[in-house]
């Protein structure tokens, strides 16, 4: 029963008002000055028109209803005029409210779109080292819920606050105009009400956090049980786990009841306060009316005006909460925007014209974390059109070599050269446009097959996509899919077999038409038929291109112009297959172990 709910306590981040962050945020808002101004003006008129209704009633009562001296006709005509005025005010109120809600939402959505795009665009510029440090879930939150928190501050925080101020000032202004003594009396209940609100906010915020933690615990327990149902059933824990689930549920239920206790006290409390205000107005106002200082209409209007000004006062605390959460979100968002890419293009990049595909590593040492080298003094060369095979056990540094060639990371020492240009001196974009990479775990995006081959490039002509697919023998199976090239790829391409995914990746590389290809051969079981297609496709793909292949197949190894054998980040052997086998070193043993199956398998079938 070890679960403590503190473990589920989500960190409730709050931050005071930070003018620097606010300025940065409002720079986004100010891009839409037109919308901002319209929203503000509309809001002003809406709030003023809301105040006008009680005032019209007051005039009706004082001038006409409660004025027996005037002739009946005049009184009735007055009432009719006021009805018309009321109609006009109502019209203004409806129109301005509708327009104001829309413009505020438009402003909010536009700003949110811009911020989302800023964060997303910036993320695309950051280096892989950044992504290896930051979990996807956290970065995703920046683009989604943190941006929404800022939108909330804009639409229901700042704008509503401005509106509330208009209402409050107008109401108080009218009240003061008629009778300042009565105004003071009307607002006598404000201090206790504000105090009550403050206390309520504090306890309810706390209970809200506890509730959320308990909901999270319950949901986690449920989803865990659903995921591990086999284990639950195998160990006959059905009853016990149901009991525990019931216990967590009961605990949450009790917390909910506690939370409703507070609101069950608070809301009636507010009602009593409001009633007290009305009673006070009536008591003192009635007396003032009798004295002749205040008219009956004013008395009635005061009652409505006090009601109108209570709402904003009550919501002040909530607005402050929204502001605090938004500030915390802004800090996180701008934190990402301030993040600098670690692999930077040089200030003066060298142009990379027609690449021939001469790749060389010169005494390269590299570490992901300082002081922990994973590559030591690596030197090898692939002349244009040559194929270099990287061989070695897991963790020997094959992937790191690929990372450096693509310049996902920068070397610690030595240099990586493409056609004699140090990769650090050319633009990353230019470099990568010349390189295509096919990873073992092929990453497919949601979208169509064609989109995946074109890597989302809508300008790529369909003929080129199909030609690429044909060249690597992917055309056949793609055409057999429902929809052919326009067949949908589900999330991560889970509906395709490993072999089909390989072929799509080959087509993708083919369509990119690079000079250099990096290929991490798939190790997974692929049926013989597809395997033959893949072997042939590979030949086509690599023909005339420089390639660096992390090899898992014998046929690949045999064809390689050079084999680089890696162990613990060092090159232990380098040379042609036959020579290395003859040397009877590490390669010879690796070869026997790793590639025998591939040799045996086709023979067996």
Partner 1 sequence: MKGYSLFSKRLGRYKAYVLGVVASIVIVDLIGLLPPWVLGDGIDYVRKGGGDVRTFGLFAFCFVAIEVCRACMRFTWRRIAWDFSRKVELDLRNEFFAKSVKLPPAFFDGTTIGDLMSRATSDIDQVRMFFGMGLLTLFDTTTIVVTTLPILIWLNPRLTLYTTLPLPFLAVICWRIFIETHRRSRAVQEQMGDVTARVVENLNGIRVVKAYATEEIEIERFEDLSNVQVSLSLRLARIQAVFFPVFTIVLETGTLLVLWIGGSSVVRGDLTVGDFVRYTLYLGWLTGPMVGLGWTLSLYQRGIASIERLNEILLRPDPVDGASAPAATGDIEFRDLTFCFGEGRPNALEHVSFTVRAGTKVAIVGRTGSGKTTLVQLLTRLYDAPRGSIFLGGRDVRDIPAAELRKLVAFVPQDGFLFSDTLAENIGFSMETVDRAAVEAAAKAACLEEAITTFPEGYDQIVGERGVTLSGGQKQRACLARAFAADAPILILDDAFSSVDAETEDKVVANVREQGKGRTVFVISHRLSSIMDADQIVVLDKGKVVATGSHEELLKKAGVYADLWRKQQLQESLR
Residue closer to partner 1 by CB (options 117, 176) is 117
Given 17, 37, 180, 287, the residue binding partner 1 (CB under 8 A): 287
For the chain, helix, strand, coil in percent to 5 are 70, 10, 20
Q: What minimum distance in Å lies between the beta carbon of 362 and partner 1?
A: 23
Q: What minimum distance in Å lies between the beta carbon of 321 and partner 1?
A: 22
Residue closer to partner 1 by CB (options 53, 317) is 53
Task: Please tell me the distance from the alpha carbon of residue 471 to that of residue 466, in angstroms, as a whole number.
Answer: 8
The residues in 65-124 that bind partner 1, with binding defined as CB under 8 A, are: 65-66, 72, 75-76, 79-80, 82-83, 86-87, 90, 93-95, 97-98, 101-102, 105-106, 109-110, 112-113, 116-117, 120-121, 123-124
Burial class of residue 134 in the structure, from the number of CB atoms within 10 Å of its CB (0-12 exposed, 13-18 middle, 19+ buried): middle
Residue closer to partner 1 by CB (options 268, 476) is 268
| Bridge partners, 447 (sequence order) | 489
The residues in 539-578 that bind partner 1, with binding defined as CB under 8 A, are: none
Task: Please tell me the distance from the alpha carbon of residue 528 to that of residue 600, in angstroms, as a whole number.
Answer: 12
Query: Interface with partner 1 by CB under 8 A: which range of 51-59, 201-209, 314-322, 533-541?
Result: 51-59
Query: Interface with partner 1 by CB under 8 A: which range of 206-214, 277-285, 477-485, 546-554?
Result: 277-285
Nearest to residue 87, comparing CAs of 62, 54, 53? 53
Task: Please tell me the distance from the alpha carbon of residue 540 to that of residue 523, in angstroms, as a whole number.
Answer: 20
> Order of strands, edge to edge, in the sheet holding 570-575?
435-438, 516-520, 546-550, 387-391, 562-567, 570-575
Residue 492 has what DSSP assignment?
Answer: G
Close Cβ partners of 464 (under 8 Å, ≥ 6 residues apart): 511
Angstrom CA distances, 348 to 148, 343, 425, 443, 529, stand at: 39, 15, 8, 33, 50
Close Cβ partners of 586 (under 8 Å, ≥ 6 residues apart): 565, 567, 572, 573
Find the distance separating the first CA and the last CA of the chain, reported in whole Å: 55
Query: Interface with partner 1 by CB under 8 A: which range of 179-187, 297-305, 359-367, 539-547?
Result: 297-305
Residue closer to partner 1 by CB (options 233, 535) is 233
Residue closer to partner 1 by CB (options 268, 602) is 268
Q: What minimum distance in Å lies between the beta carbon of 408 and partner 1?
A: 7
The residues in 458-477 that bind partner 1, with binding defined as CB under 8 A, are: 458
Residue 220 touches partner 1, criterion: CB under 8 A: yes
Map tokens 């021939």 to a residue: 356
Residue closer to partner 1 by CB (options 113, 381) is 113
Task: Please tell me the distance from the alpha carbon of residue 403 to that of residue 405, in angstroms, as a whole number.
Answer: 6
Residue 592 touches partner 1, criterion: CB under 8 A: yes
The residues in 434-463 that bind partner 1, with binding defined as CB under 8 A, are: 435-437, 439, 443, 445-446, 455-458
Residue 38 touches partner 1, criterion: CB under 8 A: no
How many residues of this chain interact with partner 1, rule: CB under 8 A? 138
The residues in 395-424 that bind partner 1, with binding defined as CB under 8 A, are: 406, 408
Residue closer to partner 1 by CB (options 37, 267) is 267
Q: What minimum distance in Å lies between the beta carbon of 234 and partner 1?
A: 5
CB 555 within 8 A of CB 536: no
Query: Interface with partner 1 by CB under 8 A: which range of 53-61, 192-200, 466-474, 542-550?
Result: 53-61
Task: Please tell me the distance from the alpha carbon of residue 307 to that of residue 51, in angstroms, as a whole number.
Answer: 11
Nearest to residue 16, comparing CAs of 321, 313, 315? 321
Nearest to residue 468, comparing CAs of 436, 496, 431, 430? 436
Residue closer to partner 1 by CB (options 260, 379) is 260
Task: Please tell me the distance from the alpha carbon of residue 341 to that of residue 198, in angstroms, as a whole number.
Answer: 45
| Bridge partners, 375 (sequence order) | 366
Q: What minimum distance in Å lies between the beta carbon of 126 and partner 1?
A: 9
Given 483, 532, 589, 601, the residue binding partner 1 (CB under 8 A): 589
Task: Please tell me the distance from the alpha carbon of residue 53 to that of residue 301, in angstroms, as a whole number.
Answer: 9
Q: What minimum distance in Å lies between the beta carbon of 39 and partner 1?
A: 12
Query: Which tokens is 42 given?
Result: 């509309």
Task: Please tell me the distance from the alpha carbon of residue 99 to that of residue 42, in angstroms, as a whole number.
Answer: 7
Q: What minimum distance in Å lies between the beta carbon of 447 and partner 1?
A: 8
CB 311 within 8 A of CB 271: no
The residues in 309-368 that bind partner 1, with binding defined as CB under 8 A, are: none
- Measured in whole angstroms, the distance separating CA 14 from the mean position of its chain's CA atoms is 19
Close Cβ partners of 206 (under 8 Å, ≥ 6 residues apart): none
Q: What minimum distance in Å lies between the beta carbon of 215 and partner 1?
A: 9
Given 209, 293, 433, 464, the residue binding partner 1 (CB under 8 A): 433
Residue closer to partner 1 by CB (options 546, 559) is 546
Given 23, 34, 188, 263, the residue binding partner 1 (CB under 8 A): 263
Residue closer to partner 1 by CB (options 34, 456) is 456
Task: Please tell me the distance from the alpha carbon of residue 288 to that of residue 297, in angstroms, as a whole number.
Answer: 12
Q: What minimum distance in Å lies between the beta carbon of 20 and partner 1?
A: 26
Residue closer to partner 1 by CB (options 271, 579) is 271
The residues in 495-534 that bind partner 1, with binding defined as CB under 8 A, are: 508, 512, 525
Given 176, 279, 543, 582, the residue binding partner 1 (CB under 8 A): 279
Residue closer to partner 1 by CB (options 165, 227) is 227
Task: Please tell me the distance from the alpha carbon of residue 471 to that of residue 522, in angstroms, as a whole number.
Answer: 19
Given 43, 150, 299, 571, the residue binding partner 1 (CB under 8 A): 299
The residues in 222-251 that bind partner 1, with binding defined as CB under 8 A, are: 222-238, 240-242, 245-246, 249-250
Residue 485 has what DSSP assignment?
Answer: G
The residues in 139-178 that bind partner 1, with binding defined as CB under 8 A, are: 139-140, 143-144
Q: What minimum distance in Å lies between the beta carbon of 71 and partner 1?
A: 10
Site string for partner 1, 190-219 (x = CB under 8 A): ----------------------------xx
Query: Interface with partner 1 by CB under 8 A: which range of 13-21, 283-291, 321-329, 533-541?
Result: 283-291
Task: Please tell me the distance from the alpha carbon of residue 211 to that of residue 256, in angstroms, as a whole number.
Answer: 7
Q: How many other C-beta atoms can be found within 10 angstroms of the C-beta atom of residue 389?
A: 25
């Amino acid at each position: 029963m070890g679960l403590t709910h503190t473990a589920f306590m989500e960190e409730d981040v709050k931050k005071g008002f930070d003018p620097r962050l606010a300025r940065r945020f409002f720079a986004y808002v100010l891009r839409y000055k037109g919308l901002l101004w319209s929203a503000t003006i509309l809001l002003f008129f809406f709030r003023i028109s809301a105040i006008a209704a009680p005032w019209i009633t007051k005039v009706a009562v004082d001038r006409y209803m409660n004025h027996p001296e005037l002739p009946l006709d005049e009184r009735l005509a007055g009432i009719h005029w006021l009805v018309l005025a009321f109609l006009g005010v109502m019209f203004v109120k409806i129109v301005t409210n509708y327009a104001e809600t829309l413009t505020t939402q438009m402003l909010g959505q536009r700003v949110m779109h811009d911020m989302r795009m800023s964060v997303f665009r910036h993320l695309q510029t950051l280096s892989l080292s950044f992504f290896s440090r930051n979990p996807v879930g956290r970065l995703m939150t920046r683009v989604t819920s943190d941006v929404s928190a800022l939108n909330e501050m804009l639409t229901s925080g700042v704008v509503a606050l401005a509106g509330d101020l208009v209402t409050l000032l107008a109401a108080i202004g009218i009240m003061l105009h008629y009778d300042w003594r009565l105004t003071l009396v009307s607002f006598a209940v404000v201090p206790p009400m504000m105090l009550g609100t403050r206390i309520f906010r504090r306890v309810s915020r706390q209970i809200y956090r506890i509730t959320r933690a308990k909901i999270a615990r319950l949901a986690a327990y449920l989803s865990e049980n659903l995921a591990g149902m086999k284990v639950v059933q195998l160990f006959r824990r059905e009853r016990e786990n149901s009991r525990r689930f019931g216990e967590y549920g009961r605990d949450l239920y009790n917390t909910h009841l506690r939370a409703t206790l507070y609101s069950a006290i608070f809301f009636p409390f507010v009602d009593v306060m409001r009633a007290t205000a009305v009673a006070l107005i009536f008591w003192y106002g009635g007396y003032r009316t009798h004295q002749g200082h205040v008219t009956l209409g004013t008395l009635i209007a005061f009652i409505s005006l006090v009601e109108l000004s209570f709402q904003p006062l009550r919501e002040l605390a909530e607005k402050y909460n929204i502001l605090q959460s938004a500030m915390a979100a802004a800090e996180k968002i701008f934190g990402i925007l301030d993040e600098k890419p670690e692999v930077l293009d040089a200030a003066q990049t060298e142009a990379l014209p027609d690449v021939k595909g001469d790749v060389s590593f010169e005494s390269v040492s590299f570490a992901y974390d300082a002081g922990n080298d994973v590559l030591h003094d690596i030197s090898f060369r692939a002349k244009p059109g040559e194929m270099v095979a990287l061989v070695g056990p897991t963790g020997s540094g094959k992937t790191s070599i690929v990372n450096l060639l693509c310049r996902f990371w920068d070397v610690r020492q030595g240099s990586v050269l493409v056609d004699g240009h140090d990769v650090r001196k050319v633009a990353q974009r230019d470099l990568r446009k010349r390189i295509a990479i096919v990873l073992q775990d092929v990453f497919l995006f949601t979208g169509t097959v064609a989109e995946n081959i074109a890597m989302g490039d809508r300008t790529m002509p369909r003929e080129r996509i199909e030609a690429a697919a044909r060249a690597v023998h992917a055309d056949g199976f793609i055409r057999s899919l429902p929809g052919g090239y326009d067949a949908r790829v589900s999330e991560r391409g889970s509906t395709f077999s490993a072999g089909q995914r390989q072929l799509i990746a080959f087509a993708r590389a083919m369509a990119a038409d690079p000079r250099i290809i990096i290929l991490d051969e798939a190790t997974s079981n692929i049926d013989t038929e597809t395997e033959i297609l893949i072997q042939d496709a590979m030949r086509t793909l690599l023909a005339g291109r420089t390639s660096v292949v992390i090899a898992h197949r014998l046929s690949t190894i045999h064809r390689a112009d050079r084999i680089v054998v890696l162990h613990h980040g060092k090159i232990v052997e380098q040379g042609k297959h036959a020579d290395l086998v003859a040397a009877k070193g590490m390669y010879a043993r690796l070869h026997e172990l790793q590639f025998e199956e591939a040799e045996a398998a086709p023979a067996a079938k």
